[in-house]
Amino acid sequence: MTTAMFVESETNTKTCPETISVSESIAAHADVLRDNGIKGDDLGRLTDETVQTLKKTGITRMTQPRDFGGLETHICDYFRAVIEVGALDGNAGWISGVVGVHPHGLAHGHRQLQEELWADDPDTWIASPYAPLGRAKVVDGGYILNGHWGFSSGTDHCTWIVLGGMVVNANDEVIDPLPKHFVLPRQDYEILHDSWEVFGLKGTGSKDIIVKDLFVPTYRVIDTAGLAEGTGGHDPVRHESTLYRLPRNLVFSGIITAGTLGLAKGSLNAFIDWSRGRETRNGRADLDPSQLVAVGAAAADIDASITHVLQDMEAIWDQCDRGEVPSFEDRLRVRRNQLAASHRAVSAADDVFKLSGGGAIHLKHPLQRFWRGAQTALHHASNQTQAVFNGYGLSTFGHEVPAHVRV
């Protein structure tokens, strides 16, 4: 794998043969992924060719159980692959993460649900969002679900969806403080196709979803109790695997970080490609000391961010592999570092973009696409710093951390 596409961390992850194949396949299809980026922006979703290419690489099966055709790889190998794809096309990297991470959560679901999802097609794509915006009332055999959700990334190419919601009583009062995940087949929800008019990550097609008075059977509902700690789930078989003992929140938020890091890496790569031979008022850009210094500083910050995130997840993996349950303080520290990594890397991308000249602001230029995508990525809830940083500070001084700081 070339440095331009992927930076190895210095963690001691033992890369499995399947992961090597995924990485090699990503490299083999690099031109397809890169060239389809602009087309995806124009469509407002990934191109069909990009989707088929991602499926060929195996990246969206990396957190899927082996008994349903998945690769069930080390989580750090998956994070690396998402960064790698994101550096080629930010939209494809984002979807490789947001769609590809869903099997990790769904593996905790009822066995009947897993069979519906993957028994006939192990390449089934499942959309989300997890935001608990739905409202569900208990009925015989399940729930009646209603809701309107935004930001369902990759939803045009998905045949199932998992939606967050709260259980309420007849007066619409929440009666369970923990959200549940409701899993629905494509015919049970509506996609609002005109709801994704944005300036960045346009090709992710993160559209709105509506559900009205839908009966959802109990086996298609996942309780979230214990998932944050890595101890929950409806399928006891999954607790035999280190991958499924990982704290769910760290996996999901970590993949948002990985998608963001891929965008930052892609920004730097695009700046380097653009600067080769480019003439500025100060002469050639690739000989201009101010530009060379900026490249060195940005590369250091982005590489440091990648390494930091991977080392943290390596340590969490090792804890879970030993049968330990990561503490709240451990999880809070990892979330702190994930957030810092996202913001540090995007700041580095900002620094080089400012030196790219007027040519880079044209809408067909890859640099501005990566830069816009990186700015958009920081708006994701998992990239918001206030609650986690505040919670970490409270924890550091021995104070109680508010319940809304979920890590």
Tell me how far apart the alpha carbons of residues 78 and 70 are, in angstroms, rounded to a whole number: 12
- Name the one residue in this structure whose structure tokens are 């890590």: 407
- Per-residue pLDDT, 359: 87
Say yes or no to pLDDT of 11 above 70: no
Domain for residue 167, yes or no? yes
Q: Which amino acid does the sequence have at 358?
A: G
- Tally Cβ neighbours within 10 Å of residue 4: 15
Which one-letter amino acid corresponds to residue 297?
Answer: A
Q: Which residues contact 363 (CB under 8 A, 6 or more apart)?
A: none
Confirm whether 392 is domain-assigned.
Answer: no
Mean pLDDT, residues 64-93:
97
Predicted pLDDT of residue 194:
96
User: What is the mean pLDDT of the segment spanning 86-103?
Assistant: 98
What is the model's pTM?
Answer: 0.94
| Residue 72 within a domain | no
> Does the residue 139 lie in any domain?
yes
Task: Write out pLDDT tens, residues 394-403.
Answer: 999 999 999 8
Which residues does 173 contact at the CB level (< 8 Å), separation at least 6? none
Residue 372: pLDDT band by 50, 70, 90 thresholds?
very high
pLDDT in tens, 17-42: 676 699 999 999 999 999 999 999 99
108 lies in a domain?
A: no
Taking residues 82-95, what's their average pLDDT?
A: 98
pLDDT over threshold 80, residue 87: yes
Q: Given this model, what pLDDT does residue 17 score?
A: 60
Assigned domain for 198 exists: yes
Q: Looking at residue 178, what DSSP letter applies? A: S
Number of domains in the chain: 1
Q: What is the mean pLDDT of the chain?
A: 93
> Please, are residues 262 and 81 in contact by the beta-carbon 8 Å criterion?
no
Task: Find the distance separating the first CA and the last CA of the chain, reported in whole Å.
Answer: 33
Please report the pLDDT score of residue 259 as a whole number. 98
- Cα separations (Å) of 179 from 65, 107, 186, 226, 387? 24, 17, 22, 12, 19
Which CATH number is 207's domain given? 2.40.110.10
Does some domain include residue 12? no
N residues, the chain: 407
**In the chain, how many H helices and how many E strands?**
14, 10
Examine the pLDDT at 283 and tell me if it is beyond 90.
Answer: no
In a domain, 149, yes or no: yes
CB 112 within 8 A of CB 179: no
CA 6 centroid distance within chain: 17
How is 214-281 classified by DSSP, letter by letter? EEEEGGGEEE-TTTTTT---S-GGGGGSHHHHS-HHHHHHHHHHHHHHHHHHHHHHHHHHHHTT-EET
Query: For residue 139, what pLDDT band results from cuts at 50, 70 and 90?
Result: very high
Closest to 266 (Cα-Cα) out of 30, 19, 11: 30
Query: Given this model, what pLDDT does residue 16 score?
Result: 60
* Number of other CB atoms surrounding residue 196 within 10 Å: 23
For the chain, percent of residues with pLDDT exceeding 70: 95
As to burial, measured by CB atoms within 10 angstroms (0-12 exposed, 13-18 middle, 19+ buried), residue 133 is middle
- What is the extent of the structural domain holding 151? 126-223
pLDDT at 9: 35
